[in-house]
Amino acid sequence: MRVRTLVRAFRHTFGFVVLFVILAALAGATPACAQLGFDRPGGDYASAPVPSGDPAVCAARCEHDRGCRSWSFAYPSASGEEAMCWLKRDVVPRAKANCCVSGVRGAGVVEPALGEVEYSIDRIGGDYRSFETPADPRGKACAAACKADGHCRAWTYLRPGYGTSAAQCFLKDTLKPPRRSPCCVSGVVR
């Protein structure tokens, strides 16, 4: 009888230890997400243009292709080249590149949430000033110009290749509703 009690106690304890290890592993896991400003060079087995210019299309292509493990998306270029999607058989290491967004299968496109910055958002209208600005996946120069101008309440950075060959900054004196669009990065300042 004592042996059975010890065996049951061992199984019970072992079960709790296994459950604890699994829960600890799940709690420590961070969800995968796409990386703005990174490419995954090499390892391509398929590529295709993305006429909409939306990186979510590339992420969806990878999700629906069983052979895909990671992907890279390049925004349209200032010289007129279309947005492109590259599918990869392996999880290729990422490399910094302003042109691109990359991710692994299962990540989708999760734009970074950085306070006042709204990724893939256009705020159409309310413009009182616009100008060319250096290309930057986060629109930092445009945000800084708005913050430095007491009249500015919001801004929109238009990536090059979305109807213009150069990056554009639009400063706004009125708030307009946000509209999802891969062309832009916007923000509200005041």
- The model's pLDDT over 138-152, given as tens digits with 9 standing for 90+, comes to 899 999 999 999 999
Band of residue 41 on the pLDDT scale cut at 50, 70, 90: very high
- pLDDT mean over 6-33: 41
Residue 71 and residue 83 in contact, taking contact as beta carbons nearer than 8 Å: no
Q: What are phi and psi of 36, to 5 degrees?
A: -75, 130
- Here the tokens at position 52 are 């909409």
Query: Kindly report the CA angle at 63 between 58 and 65, in degrees rounded to 5?
Result: 95
Q: Is the pLDDT of residue 88 over 90?
A: yes
